[in-house]
Structure 1
Amino acid sequence: MLIVGPGKAGNVTAAGRTRRARGAGTAFSLDDAADVAEPTRTTAAAPARALDGLLMVQEADPRERRRRAIARGRMALDLLDEVKLALMAGANLGPALARLEQAAATLRENSGEPGLEAVIDAIELRVAVELAKHGRSVGR
């Protein structure tokens, strides 16, 4: 079928006869193995520009930064309570301390509000002290 342009198609013709292999014992073989091209290296895909733009818009929203900072602070306080309860119950502190370490690593992000930053600093200090009591450090 021949396609001449958008929306136009040429005539369709019937397929011709196909030839069959001449013997039952014919096998597939490459004529010249030296002509085989070497594999080429692939390159990393370019970042999606639309997604980058969307993330930049989200980053620029001060209300969203404030909301995320508050959520991280609350999560750190909840994990500090979890460590305290595990300590009072005599339970294994390992899992709770591991979660607290992960939270401490992601706690610091600029919210753009000095008052909120002061509260996050105080929470971060409490987390660092609690981790230091148990021989762990804040991984950044």
Structure 2
Amino acid sequence: MRITGQKPVSGVQGRGAKKRSGAAGDAFTPEMGDESSPTAATTSAMGVQGMDALLALQEVGEDPERRRKAARHGHSLLDGLESIRADLLGGLVSEDRLEALAHEVGNQVDSGDEEVDSVLREIELRVKVELAKLGRFTD
């Protein structure tokens, strides 16, 4: 995620003239004496610029291709399970589909992220259980 279009934060400037209430018969006259100094402008958002650098560093550490490959592997396994479920509901399970799923579950893919890898292992375990139920999984 990148944050772009940063504009510096401008400070609020004070007004030089002050209002003063006079006596009942006096006319309004602004005070021309000491002019108040303008307040210091707030510093620009340096913290926000530092955030860009942190986000860029986080992106460098990840390998997006490994993650995409792991996601494709997980989706493929889930699609295979869905096909087997549809075959079971139809009454006939395709041998070719079982062989392809057994071959695919043997190819483990790591994404480099512990959470993603744990989800992949759970999907692979589910596929192994379903193949074992149908007598097609041997470890």
TM-score by length of 1: 0.52
1:78 deviates by: 0.1
Poorly superposed stretches of 4+, deviation over 4 Å: none
Contact 1:76 1:103 in 2 (8 A): yes
2:118 maps to: 118
1:79 maps to: 80
Compare relative contact order (CA 8 Å, sep 6+) and give the higher one, 1 or 2: 2
Asked whether 1:62 is paired with 2:63, we answer: yes
Contact 2:111 2:117 in 1 (8 A): yes
Asked whether 1:109 is paired with 2:109, we answer: yes
Q: Show structure 1 runs of 5+ residues with no match.
A: 1-59
- 1:31-84 deviation per Cα after TM superposition (whole angstroms, max 9, x unaligned): xxxxxxxxxxxxxxxxxxxxxxxxxxxxx9711000000000000000000000
Q: CA RMSD in A?
A: 1.8
- Partners of 2:93 and 2:132 in 1: CA distance: 17
- 1:74-129 deviation per Cα after TM superposition (whole angstroms, max 9, x unaligned): 000000000000010012331221111121112x1221001101110110110110
TM-score by length of 2: 0.52
- Partners of 2:114 and 2:83 in 1: CA distance: 28
Q: Which amino acid aligns with 1:117?
A: D
1:92 maps to: 93
- Partners of 1:66 and 1:91 in 2: CA distance: 35
Corresponding residue SS for 1:112: coil
**Aligned pair count?**
79
- Partners of 1:118 and 1:69 in 2: CA distance: 11
